[in-house]
Structure formats: structure tokens, C-alpha cells
Amino acid sequence: MAKQNLRAHASMLAATLLFGVNYWIAKGLMPDHLLPMQIIFLRVLGTLLIAWIIQISVKELRVLKIDLADYPRLIVSSLLGVAINQMMFFTGLNHTTPVDAAIINSVSPILVLVFAAWILKEQVGISRLAGILLGATGAMMLILLGNPLSLKGGSLTGDMFIVANTAAWSLYLVISKPLMVKYNPFLMMRWMFLIGFIGVFPFTIRQALEINFSSFDSYTWFAIFYIIIGTTFMAYFFITYSLKRLSSPVVAYYTYIQPIIVAIIGIAVFAEHISWVKIVSGLLVFAGIYFVTRKKRTEKSKF
């Protein structure tokens, strides 16, 4: 069990790393190379094809099925986690700054904490609550005081789309939890992205038909493949796997590590300087990880 939990945390760390790198890569695509809805169309369709190819190719996976009673939860989870989440995020990021988006996304672990206590009746002790507050403090410090990107250019419209994205993703982590525990991750990926693609199709097909593939340079192709294979297929698979072993609030907590990864990339690649804000915020986030993930002993209080 300990090894399985360790693998689940390693999977979440890998997913968080993929998301953190994507922060720079995806932003570089919009709007000069691709529009938000074009990226979403390619992202969801590409991941759907990969998931179905794996499902069909592996004999053990071909026989797996979803129970009929679980389809309503599967449909709601897929629309929240794939369709609504991605459309709201890319549309919002196109109209606001990455800093604004990061600030709003930092609310996700708190929302998941509330949703999990309300919907799944998960016990939320003082230790976990303290860890989430520590992580929130560290993330907000880094975003507000130490982020290398400009604070200018945000808009209320863009921010509201990011709010919807954050709420949808947080609710997805909670509602999908029973399905992730019950079913194989590849089976879940196959059906989630099929339903998600059906959900995004009416909103993305018009812009998708306008994509000029002949104009793509090497960076555009690299970014697209990274978004499809890395940020979407692999990251979603890691999260799906992690939800089998970890609670929804713990999975959501890894959102706080993304600004740390963004800052590290900025320092290593873009020659950003190391400041006391980055150091202190990083220590707060990792201290929060300790409190969120440590085993409960006599703690029985609920949020």
C-alpha cells in the first residue's frame, strides 16, 4: 500500500511538471499560431485517438466495460473535466494574464476540500487544512510578489472564464473520484475523451476547419505534440491513476506546485533571478505537502 501511495504521489508530481512546462508552451501558441478553440480541438481529438488505439490494441483492455449505472456520473465528469474545463481555461487565458489565471487557479484545492466534504463526506482534518493554507500562502506569495510575468493586460471577462475553469476542474476531481477507484485508467480515458470530444465539437469545429497546417513551423508542431501527448494524455492518465489512491483534496493540492515549476523554468531557461520570495514560497508549498500527505493519527475534526 505504501509503494502504491508513493507511485500515486510520483504520478501527481509528473502531471504537475507537465502542466508547469505547458504554462510556457501553450501561451507561446496563442494567438499567433493557433486560436484557443483550435488548440482544444486538436488536444481532445488527439488524446481520444491515443486512448482508443491503446484500448483496442491491448487484449486485456478490450473486454473492460463501464457499468450502465455509472454512465450519468461518467458523462458529468467528462463534461466538467474535459469539455468545460479546457474551453473555459484556454478562452480565459487568451483574454487575461497568466498571473491572473494562476491566482484564480490557486483556489482549486480549497474548492475541492469543500466539495469533497460536502459530496463525498470525506474527513478533512486540521493537518490537511493547515497544509492547504500553507500551500495557498506560498503560491500567492510567488504569484503576487515573485512572478516573472507582467501583471498588466488582464480583463474581467478572461478572469471570469478562469473562475469557471477552476470550479469545473475542482468539481470534476470530486465527482470522478468513485469512478477512478472502480475502473482501469485507460478505460476511463477512452470514455472521458470521447464524451469530452462530443462536448467540445460544436464549439471548436468552425475554427478547427480554418487551421492551416502548411504554415506550422517546427516549434508549432513540437508544442502541439507536447500538449496532446504530455499535457493531456499523460497528465490526465497520471491524475486518473492518482485518484485511485489519493483523496481529491490531496490531488488538488499539487496545483500549488505549478507556480514553483514555472519559476524554476523562468530561472533556468529565461535567466530570471532567484529571490527570497521564490525561496520562501517554495518552502511554504513543500511544508504544506508534508501536512497534507502525512498519515492521520488521533485527528478527528472535520472541515
Would you state the pLDDT for residue 294?
A: 66
At residue 149, the 3 state secondary structure works out as: coil
Mean pLDDT of the 137-162 span: 65
**Stretch among 80-89, 136-145, 184-193 having the lowest mean pLDDT:** 136-145
pLDDT at residue 262 greater than cutoff 70: no
Q: Quote the pLDDT of residue 156.
A: 73
Predicted structure pTM score: 0.79
Query: What are phi and psi for residue 32, nearest 5 degrees?
Result: -70, -35
The pLDDT of residue 3: 73
C-alpha cell at 55: 484500448
Dihedral pair phi/psi, residue 292, rounded to 5°: -70, -35
Tell me what pLDDT residue 192 has: 95
Of 147, 164, 171, 141, which Cα lies nearest the Cα of 95?
164
CA terminus-to-terminus distance, the chain: 26
* Helix segments in 58-125, DSSP class H: 59-62, 71-78, 85-95, 98-105, 108-115
Q: pLDDT digit string (tens) for 28-60?
A: 787 788 888 999 999 999 999 999 999 889 888
Q: How confident is the model at residue 235 (pLDDT cuts 50, 70, 90)?
A: very high
Does 133 score more than 90 pLDDT? no
Q: What is the reported pLDDT for 149?
A: 45
113 touches 124 (CB < 8 A): yes
- DSSP H helical ranges for the chain: 2-29, 36-57, 59-62, 71-78, 85-95, 98-105, 108-115, 126-145, 156-175, 177-182, 185-208, 218-225, 235-245, 248-253, 257-269, 276-293
> What percentage of the chain has pLDDT greater than the value 90?
37
Alpha-carbon separation of residue 241 from 8, 11, 72, 80, 177 (angstroms): 7, 7, 21, 18, 10
| Contact partners, residue 169, CB within 8 Å, separation at least 6 | 80, 81, 85, 108
On average, the pLDDT of the chain sits at: 82
- pLDDT tens figures, 273-289: 666 776 777 677 777 76
pLDDT bin (cut points 50, 70, 90) of residue 299 is: very low
Comparing CA positions, the residue from 256, 255, 112, 122 lying closest to residue 171 is 112
Other beta carbons within 10 angstroms of residue 104's beta carbon come to 22
Grid cell 535567466 in the structure block, residue: 271
Least confident of 60-64, 80-84, 152-156, 225-229: 152-156
Question: In whole angstroms, how far apart are CA 91 and each of 177, 286, 300?
Answer: 27, 31, 42
Give me the residue spans of the domains in the chain.
2-293
Distances in whole angstroms, Cα of residue 278 to Cα of each of 85, 147, 264: 29, 9, 9
CA distance 65 to 187: 7
